[in-house]
Amino acid sequence: MAARRPHTTSSPSFTTFADLGVPSAITEVLAADGITTPFPIQAATLPDALAGRDVLGRGRTGSGKTYAFALPVLTRLAASGSPRRPGRPRALILAPTRELATQIQASIAPLAEALSLRTLTIFGGVGPNPQIAGLRAGVDILVACPGRLADHVKSGHARLDAVEITVLDEADHMADLGFLPGVRRLLDQTPKSGQRLLFSATLDAGVDVLVRRFLTNPVTHNVDSAQSPVAAMSHHVLHVHDDDRFEILLDLAAAPGRTVVFTRTKHRAKTLTRRLVAAGVPAVELHGNLAQNARSRNLLAFSDGTATTLVATDIAARGIHVDDVSLVIHADPPVEHKAYLHRSGRTARAGAEGTVVTLMTDDQVPEVRDLIRKAGITATTTRLRPGDPLLTEIAPGERSFVKPPADAPVATGTAGRGRSGRHAGRRRASTHTASGSVPPTSSSRSGSRRGVVTAAAPAPAGPGGAAAFSARTRAGSSRGGR
Over the chain (482 residues), the average pLDDT of each successive run of 10 is 41 71 93 88 93 88 82 95 94 91 91 96 92 96 96 97 95 82 94 93 76 92 57 84 95 93 93 94 90 85 90 73 83 86 70 82 94 88 93 92 64 35 32 39 34 39 36 35 40
Residue 393 confidence (pLDDT): 92
Specify whether the CB–CB gap between 282 and 441 falls below 8 A.
yes
C-alpha closest to that of 270 among 100, 407, 126, 418: 418
Helices (H), strands (E): how many in the chain?
17, 18
- In 354-467, DSSP assigns E strands to 354-360, 379-383, 399-402, 432-433, 436-437, 452-455
Residue 462's pLDDT is what?
38
CA angle 260, 262, 265 (to 5 degrees): 145
Regarding the domain delimited by 233-462, which CATH topology (the fold level of the hierarchy) does it fall under? Rossmann fold (3.40.50)
Distance from C-alpha of 174 to C-alpha of 168, rounded to nearest angstrom: 9
Residue 161 CB neighbours (<10 A):
9
Residue type, 82: S
Quote the pLDDT of residue 11.
41
CATH code at 17-222? 3.40.50.300
In which residue ranges of the chain is CATH 3.40.50.300 found?
17-222, 233-462
Q: In the prediction, which pLDDT does 416 show?
A: 33
**Residue (of 299, 277, 290, 275) closest to 408 by Cα position:** 277
CB 220 within 8 A of CB 5: yes
Q: Which of 169, 137, 186, 182 is nearest to 57 (CA)?
A: 169
What CA–CA distance (Å, rounded) separates 343 from 377?
A: 14
Q: Which amino acid is at 241?
A: H
| Side-chain-side CA neighbours of residue 468 (13 Å) | 19
Nearest to 225 by CA among 205, 201, 206, 198: 201
Distance CA 135, CA 276 (A): 42
Which run of H or of E encompasses 286?
A: strand 283-286
Helix axes of 146-154 and 129-137: crossing angle, nearest 10 degrees: 70
| Region of 190 on the Ramachandran plot (φ > 0 left; ψ -120 to 50 alpha; else beta) | beta
